[in-house]
Chain A
């Protein structure tokens, strides 16, 4: 009973945006990892994972993101995460992911923050 996640890459204001539409579980690993590797090989420095507000993320999905954080640190990339529900923002803080990736409620706020930082 797997569910396909839709992962797309786009570019805006100097950032690489990886849009995730669907549940982030073990079934999403290949698609997310592939998108991240594609963005990295294209030289992305600022990468935004843009979640869809009502999608579900489980511990396997969080483990996938921990793997991405690990890679991003080696490559000196900045990771941002947007679109998370309040519940998953809380979970990400509890787990400690927010030490390695900046959370913003919306994509626009993340892009504004990147623009101000440059």
Chain B
């Protein structure tokens, strides 16, 4: 029996090549299912993870498949902590995220781009870049499981234990 409040860590390493973000996305969804995330919340998580990995591939390692993007998923009873690390071979992460002005884009007054990071910020509970001792970039996202009344789960709930017991009789 797994005691409550025990973190579980899953690490996924993908080539820095567009398309492989799908692998990280599905891994995150699988972990979130075990945590008891709702299907809707899992869809949000999948979008956030895929966008973060796409940024790490395109901007953090210039889509060079010889490099790796590492995704560390740390699950506890209430939340999923997702760390996306890239080698830092590309441009520096942006200092601010600006909401997309679709009308300006359609009228040609504003370039497209930056939408992925903005979307992530709308979806997850916390998202920020961190210092990385290796010189690469490190982007952390935290997403809470929502309870039946739509509130973030507290540390007192133990759905992981229940799911594990159900799936491993």
Contacts and interface: CB of A to CB of B under 8 A. Distances in A.
Bound together: yes
Interface in B97-154: 100, 102-103, 105-106, 108, 112-113, 115-116, 119, 122
Contacts of A91: 47, 119
A117 interface: no
A95 B47 contact: no
Given A91-B47, A94-B122, A70 B106 contact: yes
Interface string A17-50: 0000001011100000000000000000000000
Chain B, interface size category, equals 20 to 34
B17 A1 contact: yes
A97 interface: yes
A60 B59 CA distance: 14
Contacts of A87: 40, 43-44, 47
Contact of B19 (A3, A66, A85, A99): A3
A104 interface: no
A26 to B, nearest CB: 6
Contacts of A97: 102
B46 interface: yes
Given A87-B40, A96-B103, A1 B119 contact: no
Interface residues of A, number: 28
A1 B18 contact: yes
A86 to B, nearest CB: 7
Contacts of B20: 1
Interface string B1-29: 00000000000000101111010010000
Nearest to A58: B50
7 contacts: A1-B15, A1-B19, A27-B18, A56-B46, A60-B116, A87-B43, A96-B100
Interface of A: 1-3, 23, 25-27, 56, 58-60, 62-63, 66-67, 69-70, 73, 85-87, 91, 94-97, 99-100
